[in-house]
Structure 1
Amino acid sequence: MNLSPSPTRNQTIALGLRENWRAFSLLVLVNMLVGGMVGLERTVVPLVGTEEFHIASGLVVFSFIIAFGVVKAFTNLFSGVLADRYTRRNVLIAGWIVGLPVPFLLAWAPAWNLIILANILLGISQGLAWSMTVNMKIDLVGPSQRGLAMGLNEAAGYGAVGLTALATGYLATRYGLRPEPFYPGIVYTLLGLVLSVFGVKDTRAYARLEGFRMQVASGEEKAHRPGLLWVFRETSFRNPNLFAVSQAGLINNLNDGMSWGVFPLLFTAYGVGMEGVGWIKAVYPVVWGVGQIVTGPLADKIGRKPLIVWGMLIQTVGHAVIGFAFLPPLLSGLAGSVLLGVGTAMVYPALLAAVSDAAHPSWRASSLGVYRFWRDMGYAIGALMSGIVAGLWGLVWAVHLAGILTLVSGLLVWKRMKPS
C-alpha cells in the first residue's frame, strides 16, 4: 500500500473526531447493530441446547461458543489483509451478507448442528464487520483520540449486546425460547446491510494520510510494509507491549466465553428465573459498553497500562463474588456482573488503543487483526475450559478458574508492558 496520499485526497480529508463526526456516528450505529447480533445468543441459546434439544453435556452445549470463537478469531486474523486488498467498506458489507441467515437459523433450526452452523456464520460475520468498524474509526480520528474512538465504538457494540440479551430474556419469558427472541436479529442484519451499502464510505485514505505524516516526521523514505507472518510474530511474541496486550485480550474474552455458557445454566440451577438470568446477562455487557464512554478518553489521559492492570484485577473480584456466592443468587449474579463489566470497560478500549500505538499505520490493520485473533480465541478457550471443568467439578469451578487466570494475566501486564 502506498502511504502517500494524492494531493487531491490530502486537501479534502482531515484526521480527527470533530472533522469526521458524521462518518464516525454512522459507524457507531452500524456497530450497535453488529453487537446486537451477538446479544441474540447471550441469554437464550444455552437454554435452547439443554431444554429444547435435551443436551446433557456442558461441552456439547458450549460447542456453539467454541465454533463462534474459533471462526471469529481466524476471520479477525485475515480481516486486515482483506481490508488492505479490497477496502474496509467492502469487507464490512461482506460481513453483513454472511450474517443474513443467522437469525433465521437460530429461530427455526430443527437440529443442534444447524445452531452451530449459525454460529460459524456469525463468527465470520463478526470477524469481518466488527473488525472493520474498529479499523475505520481508528483511521478517521488519528493518533490523539484513539482511546476515545475505541471507547465509543465498543460502548455502542457491547451496549447493544447487553440490551439485546435483556430483550431476548423478556421475549423468551413471554413467548418461549424460539422463535420470537431472535426476531430482532432479522431487523439488525437487514438494517446493517442497507446502512453499510448506501451510507458508509471507505476510510483507507485516512490511514494513508496518517502514515504519510509519520513518514515525513521520521524522515523515512519508505514505510515498512511487512507480510502477515511478520506481523503475527511481532504482535504475538516479539513486541513486549503487543504480547502483553494479546494475552490480556485472550483472558478477557475467556471470561466472556465462560460467562456466556456458564451463567445461564448456573443461575437457572440456583433457581433464578428467565428474566433474572436475562438481567444478569444484560448487566455485564451494558456496564462494559457504557463504561467505555468514560474509560476510552481516560486511556488517552492516563495511559493504557493502568486501566488494563486494574481492569483485570476488578474482573478477578467479580469472579470471586459470583463463585463464592456471598449474596443470594440473583444479587450475587448482578453484583458480580457489574464488577466484570466495570473491569472489562477499563480494559477493552485501552487494549485496542495500545495496539494502535505500537503498530505503524502501514501494518496496523493486520496487527489489530492478530490481536483480535488472540482476543476472540478466548471465547473458544473459555467455553472449552468451562465445558471440561464443569463436567469434572461443576459449573462454579469454571468461574473460579477464570478468576485465577484473570489475576495472573493482570500481573503479567503489570510486569511486561511499558507505559504508553
Structure 2
Amino acid sequence: MMTANTNSPHPKPRAGITLGLRQNLAQFMLLVAVNALVGGTLGQERTVLPLLAAQVFQLDLYTSALTYILAFGLAKAATNYFAGTLSDRYGRKPVLVAGWIIALPVPLLLIFGPSWGWIVAANVVLGISQGLTWSTTVMMKMDLVGPSRRGLAMGLNEAAGYLGVAGAALATGYIAATSGLRPGPFLLGAAFIAVGLGLSVLTVRETHHHAKLEAASHVSVHAGTHAELSNRDVFTLTSFRDKSLSSVSQAGLVNNLNDGLAWGLFPVLFAAAGLTIDRIGILAAVYPAVWGAGQLVTGALSDRIGRKPLIVGGMLVQAAALAMVAVGRDFGTWLAAAVFLGTGTAMVYPTLLAAIGDVAHPAWRARSVGIYRLWRDGGFAVGALLSGIIADAYGIPAAVGVVAALTGASGLIVAVRMRSTDHRAAG
C-alpha cells in the first residue's frame, strides 16, 4: 500500500495550506473518529483475554498468561519507532491505511485460535497495527493544528482512543456474559477494523505538508535547534540527552507499565474476589472511560498552565490509585480506585505527547514521537513481565504495590529533571 513520496525530502509547503484547529476542523474530527475505532480495536481484549487465559486455556502462572501483553507491547513499541520514519518518507496516510490492513486477521485469530500461541500471535499483529494507526493519527493531528492548540489536539485524540477502549471493554464484557468468551466479543472488533479501514482509504487526507509549513517558521524551545538530525541523533536526544524529552520518555514507559498491569491482572484479581463478568467489565471500562473523557479537559489545560504540573501530579495520583487497588477487597473500593487511576492517567497521557511536540523540531517531530512511543509502549512489555513475576511469587496485590511505588518515583523524577516545555511558558 505504501508508495514512495515523489516530493523531494524537504518540499515547500503547498499553497492554500493553513495551520489551526478551526481551519482544519472537518479533517481533524474525522481523525478523532478514526482513532476512536483504533481504540475500540484494542478494547475488544481488555475484559475478555485475561479471562480467556484462565478459563479456556487454563494458564495457571500469571507470567505465562501475560505473554500476550508482552508480545503486544514489544510489537507496538518497535512499530512506533518505525512509524515516524515511514510517515516522513512515504506520507502519513499510507502508513495509517497499512496499519488497518495489518489488523484484518486479528479477530479471526482470537476467535478460532486453538492454543494460547495463536492468541499471542494475534497480539503481535495487533501491536504492529496499533503502532502504525495510533501513532499516525497523533502525528496527523499535530500537523493540522500547529503549536498553539497542541495540548487540546492531543487531549481530543487520546480521549477518542481511550473512550473507544472503554466502550469496547464494557460492550465485550456484556457480550461475554450473555453469549460466552468467543466468538461474540471479537466480532465487534472486526466491525471496528472494517469501518476504520474504509474511512482511512476513502476520506482521510494527507497532512505531511502541514508539518512542512510549520517547520518553515518553527521557533525552537530546547532540543529543536537543528532541523537536520540523523535518526541516531533524534533517538539519543529523545531518550537520554535532552532533559525534557528523556523525562517524558521514562514517564511514558512507567505509565504504560502500570496500564499493562491493569490490563492483565486486574480482571483476574476481581474474578478471584468473586465478581461477576459483567461487574469485571464495568471496572475494566471505568478506568479507560475516565482516562478518555478526562483528556478532553487536561489536554487543553496543559496549554494554559504548562505540561510539567499535570505530568507530576498525574503520576502521583496514579500511584495512590494503584495503592487503593492493592489494599481493596470489594467492588466499591476498586470502582473508586479505577476513577482515580483514570484521572491520573488523563492528566499525564496527552500532556506527555504535547510536551514532545513542544520540544521536537517539526522536521523530525514524527521520529521523536515514534521514539517516545517506543519507550512508552515498551512499558506494556516491562509491566507484563515484572508484574507477572511478582504476582507468581507473592500474589497480585504485591505486584500492584510495587508498580505503585515505581509510578510515584517516576513522577518525582519528572519533578526534579524536566524543564517547562510548552510554548506558553517558553514565549
- Higher helix residue share: 1
1:5-404 to 2 correspondence within 5 Å? 5-6=12-13, 9=14, 11-214=15-218, 224-325=227-328, 328-404=329-405
The 3-state SS of whatever aligns with 1:12 is coil
Q: Deviations over 1:237-284 (max 9, x none)?
A: 000000110000000000100010110100100111101110111011
Distance 1:273 1:407 in 2: 31
**Match for 2:321: what amino acid?**
G
Q: CA deviation digits over 1:300-320, x for unaligned, max 9? A: 000000000000011111011
2:424 is aligned to none
Aligned equivalents of 1:45 and 1:235: distance in 2?
Answer: 34
Q: What secondary structure sits across from 2:198 in the alignment?
A: helix
**Deviation at residue 224 of structure 1 after TM alignment:** 2.5
AA matched with 1:309: V
Task: Tell me how far 1:199 sits from its aligned partner.
Answer: 0.5
- The unaligned stretches of length 5 or more in structure 1 are none
Instruction: Give the conservation status (yes or no) of the 8 Å contact 1:257–1:382.
Output: yes
The whole-number CA distance in structure 2 between the counterparts of 1:411 and 1:97 is 41
For 1:322 and 1:224, how far apart are their aligned partners in 2? Answer: 45
Q: Which amino acid aligns with 1:385?
A: L
1:67-112 C-alpha deviation (Å, 9 max, x unpaired): 0000100000111000011110000000000000011111221111
Residue type of the alignment partner of 2:318: Q
CA distance in 2, matches of 1:194, 1:369: 25
* One-letter amino acid of the structure 1 residue matched with residue 335 of structure 2: L
Query: How far apart are the structure 2 equivalents of 1:139 and 1:379?
Result: 27
Q: Percent of pairs identical after alignment?
A: 53
Q: In angstroms, what is the RMSD of aligned CA positions? A: 1.3
**Code of the aligned partner of 2:246:** F
* Post-superposition offset of 1:3: 4.4
In structure 2, distance between residues paired with 1:250 and 1:45: 23
SS in structure 1 of the partner of residue 149 of structure 2: helix
Question: Does the aligned pair in 2 maintain the 1:3–1:212 contact within 8 Å?
Answer: no
Of 103-112 and 24-33, deviating more is 103-112
**Deviation string, structure 1 residues 316-374 (Cα, Å, up to 9, x no partner):** 1101111111xx51112111111110000000111000001110001100000000000
Runs of 4+ aligned residues of structure 1 deviating over 4 Å after TM superposition are 1-4
Q: Does the aligned pair in 2 maintain the 1:72–1:376 contact within 8 Å?
A: yes
* SS of aligned partner of 2:342: helix
Secondary structure at 1:186 match in 2: helix
